[in-house]
Amino acid sequence: MGNKQTRKRKKTLKAQSKKNKQINKTIKGDRKNEANTISILILGTGDSGKSTLIKQIQILYKDGFSEFEQEKYQKAICVNLKNNTKKLLQFCNMNGIDLLKKNRRIAEEYLSNVDVLNDSLTTEIVQSIQSLWKDPALKSAYSRRNEFTLPDSANYFFDRAGEIGKPDYEPSNMDILNCRIPTVGVRELNFSVRNEKWRIVDVGGQRSERRKWIHHFQDVDLLFFVVAMSEYNQKLFEDERINRLQESLTVFTKTLNDEYLQKKDCVLLLNKVDLFKEKLENFPLSNYFNEFKGENNFEESSEFLKNLFINSAPKNINSIVSHFTCGTDTNNIKEILSFIQNKTNEKYVSEVF
């Protein structure tokens, strides 16, 4: 009787030992997978271009956009197109900018009847938008968009209003890259670059979203901070007394001073260089940053802004590298991500593998 119980107990212990070994093996595997993953936190103020970078990664290293995502962007594009037309017309009315006589009635009817929250475009609405966008008054209002809130890509969609209004319209990758949908909450994207696993965490950049940032600082291997250079002549949406680029600089300095980010590496992405170059022609940088004494060209202006950020970085940062980027240029983003991947591989190869 005793021998039978002993054999039974030994069999149970053996089974439990086998189970424990399997559990330990799984845990070790999970730890190895985690160790082989470079965790990247991407931060920046609202409209800096963080979400566009995430979209580029989907195009380059994932399977692009799902049918559900395409439908979401298609609806957002229609809503934004109508809403941006309304904003331009309201700005014209508030600032005494007169439309051509033939467009005044169209504008009045548009403002009275358009439902900007409806995600559909009728033929009549598209024709109205196309006619209004050709009006010199709206072009004038658009050139003064630094005085109110209007997405940088608004003109891109105004020019494509006819295509967007077609019943069978499906947004292209470029349409999706230019589409503005504010990031709310936290988004995680996992992908592989040449057999190396990356995990990017994107957190909303609006002031109301920034309190969530700190919850993601501890597990970061690399920090991306995105800055919209083109915002140097714009005011903050949440507080019109504050320059947007100055706000970005303040957030950058404060974020890098956090104790959890000590000895971390930072990649500073100075984004929207195409818009920055365009704006310099009419809005000299010295008008908004008195300390800038250089020539009003891209080389000297961009170097000034780059140094402004790098010199404000605290000494506790392990390293900081900067890149000038155009978020909607897929080749540009691919080159930069490839460069960063090579650098991270050099650093982590001895630790991870």
Was 115 annotated as part of a binding site? no
d(CA 335, CA 341): 10
Q: Which of 152, 178, 204 is the last residue of a domain?
A: 178
Q: Binding residue per annotation — 239?
A: no
More confident residue, 187 or 28: 187
- pLDDT confidence of 314, banded at 50, 70, 90? confident
Once rounded to an integer, what is the mean pLDDT over residues 50-71? 92
> Domain ends where: 143, 178, 213?
178
Percent of the chain scoring above 70 in pLDDT? 82
Q: Which amino acid is at 240?
A: E
State whether residue 129 is helix, strand or coil: helix
Q: Do both 212 and 284 map to the same domain?
A: yes
Phi, psi at 268, each rounded to 5°? -95, 115
Is 173 annotated as ligand-binding? no
The enclosing domain of 246 has a CATH number of 3.40.50.300
Give the pLDDT score at 310.
Answer: 95
- 265 closest CA partner among 228, 316, 214: 316
**Is 152 annotated as ligand-binding?**
yes
Angle at 52 between CA 223 and CA 345, to 5 degrees: 40
Among 74, 128, 230, smallest CA distance to 66 is for: 74
Check the annotation: does 206 bind a ligand: yes
271 is in an annotated binding site: yes
- Can you name the residues that pair with 43 across neighbouring β-strands? 225
pLDDT of residue 277: 96
Q: Could you tell me which of 228, 199, 221, 225 has the C-alpha nearest to residue 210? A: 225
171 is in an annotated binding site: no
Lowest mean pLDDT among 30-34, 114-118, 182-186, 328-332: 30-34
Read off the pLDDT of each residue in 81-85 and give the average, rounded to a whole number.
96
Q: Would the annotation count 227 as a binding residue?
A: no
What CATH number did the domain enclosing 125 receive?
A: 1.10.400.10
Q: Is 203 annotated in some ligand binding site?
A: yes
Check the annotation: does 63 bind a ligand.
Answer: no
187 known member of a binding site? no
> What pTM was computed for the model?
0.81
274 is in an annotated binding site: yes
Shared-domain flag, residues 77 and 217: no
pLDDT for 132-168, tens place per residue?
A: 999 999 999 999 998 888 988 999 999 999 999 999 9
Q: Is 179 annotated as a binding residue?
A: yes
Q: What span, in angstroms and rounded, lies between the C-alpha atoms of 116 and 112?
A: 11
Separation of alpha carbons 293 and 283, rounded Å: 15
Final residue belonging to a domain, choices 163, 178, 193 = 178
Element spanning 203, H or E:
strand 196-203
Same domain, 299 and 249: yes
Cβ(345)–Cβ(196) under 8 Å? Answer: yes
pLDDT for residue 45 is more than 90: no
Q: Is 98 annotated as a binding residue?
A: no
Residues 140 and 209 in one domain: no
Q: Higher model confidence: residue 342 or residue 104? A: 104
Q: Are residues 148 and 195 in the same domain?
A: no
Q: Within 10 Å of residue 271's Cβ, how many Cβ atoms? A: 28
Task: State yes or no: 153 annotated in a binding site.
Answer: yes
158's enclosing H/E stretch is helix 154-159
Q: Are residues 265 and 149 in the same domain?
A: no
**pLDDT tens by residue, 220-274:** 888 899 999 999 999 887 677 889 999 999 999 988 888 877 788 899 999 999 9
pLDDT, residue 35, reads 55
Decide if 201 contacts 188 (C-beta within 8 A): yes
Give yes or no: residues 191 and 314 share one domain.
yes
Angstrom distance (rounded) from CA 348 to CA 251? 28
